[in-house]
Homo-oligomer: A and B are copies of this chain.
Amino acid sequence: MTRARAATIEDVAREAGVSRAAVSKVIRNAYGVSPSMRDRVNAAIEALDYRPRVAARAMRGATFTLGIELPHIGNPFFTKIVAGATATLQGTEYQLIIAPADFDGEEGVRALGALADRQVDGIVAISPLVSPEWLERLAARVPVVMIGRHDRSAAYDTVTGDDTEGTRLAMEHLFELGHRRIVHLTRSEEVTQPGSGTPHAMRLEQYLASMRNAGFGDDIRVVRTGMTEESARLDTLALLDDEVPTAIFVGNDELALGTLRAIGEHGLSPADVSVVGYDDVDIASHPAISLTSVDQSGVAMGERAIRLLLERIAGRTEPVHFSVEPTLRVRGSTRPAAARHID
C-alpha cells in the first residue's frame, strides 16, 4: 500500500500565499500576525487538513507530550493515577502517553529511557527501582516527577502517599480489633530494601515498628510474594498451610485480592482471617469483597504530579515534595475469633 503524503507547513504556506514562517507563527499563535493573514492561513490549514508533525517540532522546540511510566498496567491503582493525570490535562495542548513497563526494575528503566528518547516535555514515573543518580541524570534532560519515592533530590519533584502513617493506621485498626498475630504479606526483597524509600519498604518498616511498639515483636512474620494477584494467592495458600494468623496486612490491594481468594480456597472465611490492603482500589468497596484498605487517593496523586510537571516545564527550579494524607477505609475486618469468644 502506498502511503499518502500528508500536507506540510510548506503546502499550507503555498496555499495561503504566505511564508512558512507566517504559518508557523499562526499555529503557535505567536506574536506579530495580522488578522487577515491569520484567517487566510487558518483557511488553508482547514482546506489541506494540515497537522504539524510532532517530530519536526521536536527538532527545534517542544513535543507537547507528557510521558508516564507505569509498572504493571494490571494494577488498578496505577489506573487511578492515570485518570487523575488525563483529567488534569484536559483542555491543555499536552497529550499524555503511557509507557507500560510490567515491572519496576530494569523494565521501568527501559520505559523511562524510551520516553526520554521520544523527547517528551516531561515525565511522571511510578517508583521504579532506580538509583537517585540515574534519576538525576534523567532529570537533567527533562522535567521529572516521581510518584511514591520517599527520597528527596533537588533534581526532581516527588508525590508520595504517607506510607508510614497509612501503615500505622492499618496496624492500629487491627490492634484495636484485638489482633496480634498479624502477618505482613509484601513484595520481594528487591522492592523493599530498607532505606530505599519505596512505598513497600516504608510499609514494611512501619509494620515492624508497629508490631514491636505494641509488644508483639515475637509475632512478626513477613511473607514475600510477587507483584500479581495470582502470586499472592499462591503464597498466601502456602502461608495458611503452615499457620493461620488472625490477620494479614497486605502490601497492596491487588495482592490482597489474591489473599482473599486463598483464604476462601483454604476453606476459611474473612471472619477467620482479617485482611487489610493498601490503595483502596475500586473493587475493595464492593460489598461482596468488602476489603478494608488504606486510601491514598491515586487520582489526587496523578493530578498533583501533572501540576508539578507543568510548573517545572513553565520554569520552576526549586524541588517540591508533595505528600497526600492516607485515610483508612474500614470494611470487612473483624475481631479475631479468640477475642470474639471472650465476648
Contact = CB atoms under 8 A, between A and B. Distances in A.
A195 interface: no
A30 B58 CA distance: 26
Contact of A98 (B83, B97, B265, B282): B97
A257 interface: yes
A18 interface: no
Given A3-B140, A59-B56, A286-B260, A100 B86 contact: yes
Given A100-B98, A102-B86, A257 B286 contact: yes
Interface in A83-116: 83, 86, 95-100, 102, 111, 113-114, 116
Contacts of A48: none
Contacts of A288: 260, 264, 288-289
A201 B63 CA distance: 38
A120 to B, nearest CB: 10
Contacts of A51: 113, 116-117
Contact of A6 (B52, B53, B141): B141
A114 B260 CA distance: 41
Nearest to A59: B55
Q: Give the interface size bracket for A toward B.
A: 35 or more
A63 to B, nearest CB: 7
A119 B82 contact: no
Contacts of A54: 55, 117-119
Most buried by B among A63, A79, A99, A117: A117
Interface string A1-29: 10110100000000000000000000000
A245 interface: no
A338 interface: no
Contacts of A141: 3-4, 6
A308 to B, nearest CB: 14
A178 interface: no
A330 interface: no
A3 B98 contact: no
Interface of A: 1, 3-4, 6, 51-56, 58-59, 63, 65, 67, 73-74, 76, 79, 82-83, 86, 95-100, 102, 111, 113-114, 116-119, 137, 140-142, 155, 229, 257, 260-261, 264-265, 282-283, 286-289, 317
